Structure 1
Amino acid sequence: MTENATELERLAAQAESEERASEEAEQAAEAEWEDVDAHREQAAALAKMGVQGVEFLAGMIHPGHALDDNARAQGEASLLPVAMDFAGEVPEWLRPYLHYLGAGMWMGGVLFAAYKERRAEDAERERKEAEQAEQGAAHGG
């Protein structure tokens, strides 16, 4: 009888251990889904910011340029997979290249600012030339 009791205790302990492991697995899965939802929300926010940034830059290149709701939605859908890769922590594979990305973004920013400044100067020069042409025509020139 002692062998049967010992075997029964062992089976009960094993069942309890399996039940505990199952509960822990469920809790881990729930926590993982919460993280997935948070990750997806963060990625969606990044995608939306990306679309806003592109729209802003397009407006700088061509003043008055704007995206409609459909184009914004398409942009967010296009950027979401990329944002999923970059939401949260920086992926391990990208870490060795962060300094290259930072340098490239800095260079791009400087070049874009120079381009914007040149367009503003060109527009001002054209405005002055048109103004002088109007004055010359008004004075019979």
Structure 2
Amino acid sequence: MTLTRSEMETIRRQFDSRCRKILREESYSIRKRLARRAEKEVSLSWLSEKELNRFYVIDEYPSDLFFFDAAEYRIPVRDEKLASALAALPDKKRDVILLAFFLDMKDTEIAAKLKVVGSTIHRRRTSSLEELRSRLEVFENERNKK
């Protein structure tokens, strides 16, 4: 069956009309979807600094940490000044500080781990804290002089 020229022209116009209708409805659908999205979106420039701070994470790498061994634990320390002050302490005192403040152990637990008397742990902790305080003050004074 062959079509006449006028019938082919009619089919072409019907096809064009149908395509235009589909494109018009699709563009309407897209505009509607974008409008719904725009109602829910907020520009980042409108957010406060506190709200912006919730949207990022600072990567932490093992090379940025200082590690100390205390009893059978490997304890990471982030702060460089604190790490150098801890490194300057004798091993026994450093272990008590690390176990007490980084692992939240009680004196009795620390005494059991290190196999010493509880009063020894208390004495080491208080004297170690004094040493740490004085070392950190020295670091702070040196930094302020520069």
Compute the TM-score of the two structures, normalised by the length of structure 1: 0.33
In proportion to residue count, which structure has more strand?
Answer: 2
> TM-score w.r.t. structure 2 length?
0.32
Give the structure with the larger helix fraction.
Answer: 1
Greater relative CO (CA pairs within 8 A, separation 6+): 1
Higher Cα Rg: structure 1 or 2?
2
